[in-house]
Amino acid sequence: MRSHAPVRSCLLILSLLLTGCADPTPIILSAQYQPPAAGADPAAHAPACRVKLGEITDKRSDTESMGSISGRVVRAADSTAWLRSGLESLGRDGGITLVKAGDPDLVLSADLLKAYVMSVTTAKSANVVLSVHTSRRGVSAPDQVYRGTDEGPNWIAGDDEAQGALNRALSQALVQVRGDLLKQCAEGP
């Protein structure tokens, strides 16, 4: 009967070596969302939907925790500012104009419900879930929940890798938010 002890010993040593190589310093995310490159938007030629950003909150129990990647803790410098900058990017491609005063078509408020990145062996996954509230002239529409995900290889568990994955996940959610805002504006008062 052959013993599997040498194989187990090698696997244990390899595991310890890989764990020892992990960078223990936490990843601190930027409070600034970086959107993907802008594309041509057919809504850019339509009358602009005037949107005012209202309250943006992080409803998670730990507003700094953004998961971990290869044993490195991921922390948010300011998750609310990150979400706000993401929502502000809705006005960059046309069709939506963000306003601070006056009589907007819609007022948008949002809650961050989930935002994390995690890794399993050589893969990573980032998830962002938002609850968005809109109102038109004081009349609220039903709250909508939007989810964005990003999955890909975990290369080196670097700062940019974690930030990029979360930005791409937020970008997916924002595409859905944008579509619904344009639809609400097109429906009129």
pLDDT in tens, the chain (189 residues): 555 566 555 444 444 344 445 557 888 988 989 887 765 555 455 668 999 999 999 999 999 999 999 889 999 999 999 999 999 999 988 899 999 988 999 999 999 999 999 998 889 999 999 999 999 988 999 999 999 999 998 888 778 899 999 999 999 999 999 999 999 998 876
- Indicate the burial class of 142 (C-beta count within 10 angstroms; 0-12, 13-18, 19 or more): exposed
153, exposed or middle or buried, with CB in 10 Å at 0-12, 13-18, 19+?
exposed
Q: Residue 29 — φ and ψ, nearest 5°?
A: -80, 150
Helix axes 79-88, 159-187, angle to 10 degrees: 50
Q: Domain for residue 19, yes or no?
A: no
Full domain range(s) for residue 129:
26-187
Domain count, the chain: 1
Question: Looking at residue 11, what is its pLDDT?
Answer: 43
Could you give the residue ranges of the DSSP H alpha helices within 22-125? 79-88
Nearest one of 188, 170, 179, 144 to 43, comparing CA atoms: 179
Is residue 4 in a domain?
no
Q: Which helix (H) or strand (E) holds 52?
A: strand 49-58
Query: Is 182 part of a structural domain of the chain?
Result: yes
Residue 92 falls within a domain, yes or no? yes
- CATH number of the domain that residue 85 is part of: 3.40.50.10610
Please give the pLDDT value at position 41: 54
Q: ∠ CA 86-37-120 to the nearest 5 degrees?
A: 70
pLDDT for the residue numbered 53 = 97
* Token duo for residue 138: 């004081």
17 in a structural domain:
no
Q: Dihedral through CA 51, CA 117, CA 157, CA 15, nearest 10?
A: 180
Tell whether 15 is covered by a domain: no
